[in-house]
Amino acid sequence: MTILFYDGTFEGLLSAVFEIYERKLMQVKLQKGEWYNSALFAEVLKITTSEVNANRVLKGLRQRLSPAAVQRLYIAHMAEMENEEITLIGYIRYVFDTPKNIEDDYGNKYVIRLSEIIRMVRREKHRMEAFVRFKKLKDETYYATIEPDFNVLPLLIKHFKNRYADQKWIIYDIKRNYGLYYNLHDTQYMVLDFSTMNKPGDIIAAFTEDEGIYQHLWKNYFNSVNIPARKNTRLHVRHIPKRYWRHLTEKI
């Protein structure tokens, strides 16, 4: 068994795949983070991310997979799910070691698991598209915070850029401490410093004076359309899990 430590990036993952084939490694385990010598009966190898090696592996994947399948592999890695590196490595090795197209080979455990991961990530993406609540800041920028289970922020760019093309906005993932900023032309990644605040989501002082009025109207609207006699808490929680409530204006 060889334990490979990499930096957690997609390029690092592909660099690890390159080393696996270059060194003809059979049994491997991939882990994120710094190298540490705690394995008694395993060889440890630190992977240096190489753009050249990563591009060679990516070129091979593009020759054997459709563009959609390569994108799904990237999305699955971006999900940052614990202990799923073995799935990604297993899937990539199956691609290279099998002469046929493996995209729809759901009899293989790596193919089916990758499909399950993609399904979970896309579900989270759709929920974020529905549950994001913007608040207007004094500089006319609209600000929203999210805490998705998976790292779906990059997948939200197209939806919100198309839907809110005429206003500046920030969507900030406070769980991973980075966000998206749209300036009416392009989107870019950003990191905010919340060291002077009690918590990342607490930026009330930066709201416009009429933001409180709009939030009050929004809450009143939901209260007015609510029918107590038809209340179904179980169904409601199934469609809007409680972990999202703290970012919904109507729930605060």
Looking at the structure, tell me whether residues 116 and 136 fall in a common domain.
Answer: no
The runs of H, that is alpha helices, within 98-135 are 109-131
pLDDT at 32: 86
Rounded distance, CA 153 to CA 179, Å?
A: 7
pLDDT at 218: 43
Domain count, the chain: 2
Rounded distance, CA 247 to CA 241, Å?
A: 12
SS3 content of the chain, % helix, strand, coil (to 5): 50, 15, 35
Looking at the structure, tell me whether residues 138 and 101 fall in a common domain.
Answer: no
Looking at the structure, tell me whether residues 147 and 230 fall in a common domain.
Answer: yes
Looking at the structure, tell me whether residues 8 and 100 fall in a common domain.
Answer: yes
Rounded distance, CA 214 to CA 130, Å?
A: 19
Closest CA to 1 of 33, 29, 36: 29
Looking at the structure, tell me whether residues 138 and 187 fall in a common domain.
Answer: yes
Rounded distance, CA 61 to CA 252, Å?
A: 46
pLDDT at 237: 56
Instruction: Encode pLDDT of 173-219 as tens digits.
Output: 988 989 999 999 999 998 887 655 555 445 544 555 554 544 544 45
Looking at the structure, tell me whether residues 97 and 136 fall in a common domain.
Answer: no
Rounded distance, CA 126 to CA 124, Å?
A: 5
Rounded distance, CA 107 to CA 111, Å?
A: 8
Side chain identity at residue 84, one-letter code? E
Looking at the structure, tell me whether residues 112 and 139 fall in a common domain.
Answer: no
Looking at the structure, tell me whether residues 186 and 220 fall in a common domain.
Answer: yes
Q: Please answer whether residues 28 and 1 qualify as being in contact, where contact means their C-beta atoms are separated by less than 8 angstroms.
A: yes
pLDDT at 125: 93
Radius of gyration for the chain, computed over Cα atoms and rounded to the nearest angstrom: 22
pLDDT at 133: 85
* 93, 112, 108, 77: CA torsion to nearest 10: 10
| List of E strands, the chain | 2-6, 28-32, 43-46, 135-136, 142-146, 169-173, 178-182, 187-190
Which portions of the chain are predicted below pLDDT 70?
A: 35-42, 194-227, 229-252
Query: What's the first-to-final CA gap in the chain, in angstroms?
Result: 50
C-alpha dist (Å) from residue 43 to 3, 38, 84, 222: 6, 10, 20, 59
Give the residue from 123, 158, 185 where a domain finishes: 123
Give the residue from 88, 106, 123 where a domain finishes: 123
* Residue numbers of the domain that contains 110: 2-123
209-217, Cβ contacts within 8 angstroms, sequence gap of 24 or more: 210/136, 211/135, 211/136, 214/136, 215/135, 215/249, 215/252
- Measured over the CA atoms of residue 34, residue 36, residue 41 and residue 45, the dihedral's sign is positive
Give the residue from 123, 146, 165 where a domain finishes: 123
